[in-house]
Amino acid sequence: MRLALLAIPAVRSAIELELGRRVEYLSSLPSTQDRARELGGSGSAPLVVVAEEQTAGRGTHGRSWLAPAGKALLASWLFRPAPAEAALFALLAGVAVARALDGLGISTALLKWPNDVEVGGNKVAGALAHATTDGEGGSLVLGIGVNVHQRREDFPPELRESATSLALAGHTVDRLSLLVRLTRELDRVAGPSERRLALDEWRRRATLLGQRVEVLREGRTAARGIARDIADDGALIVGDERIAAGEVRLQ
Ligand code: BTN
Q: What is the pLDDT of residues 102-158, one digit of tens each?
A: 999 999 999 999 999 999 999 999 999 999 988 888 999 999 999 999 999 999 999
Give the β-pairing of 110-112 and 72-79.
Answer: unpaired
Residue nearest atom 2 in ligand 1 by C-alpha distance = 59
Residues with CB under 6 A from ligand 1: 31-33, 54, 57-60, 63, 65, 74-76, 115, 126-128, 143-145
Which atom in ligand 1 lies closest to the alpha carbon of residue 57?
Answer: 14
Mutation test residue for ligand 1: of 39, 60, 64, 74, the one with most atoms within 8 Å of CB: 74
Give the β-pairing of 72-79 and 47-54.
Answer: antiparallel
Residue nearest atom 15 in ligand 1 by C-alpha distance = 58
Residue nearest atom 11 in ligand 1 by C-alpha distance = 143
pLDDT digits (tens, 9 = 90+) for 231-241: 999 999 999 99
Q: Rounded to two decimals, what is the model's pTM?
A: 0.97
Q: How many C-beta atoms surround the C-beta of residue 138 within 10 A?
A: 16
pLDDT digits (tens, 9 = 90+) for 173-202: 999 999 999 999 999 999 999 999 999 999
Q: How confident is the model at residue 1 (pLDDT cuts 50, 70, 90)?
A: low
Question: What is the sign of the dihedral through the CA atoms of 161, 167, 170 and 176?
Answer: positive
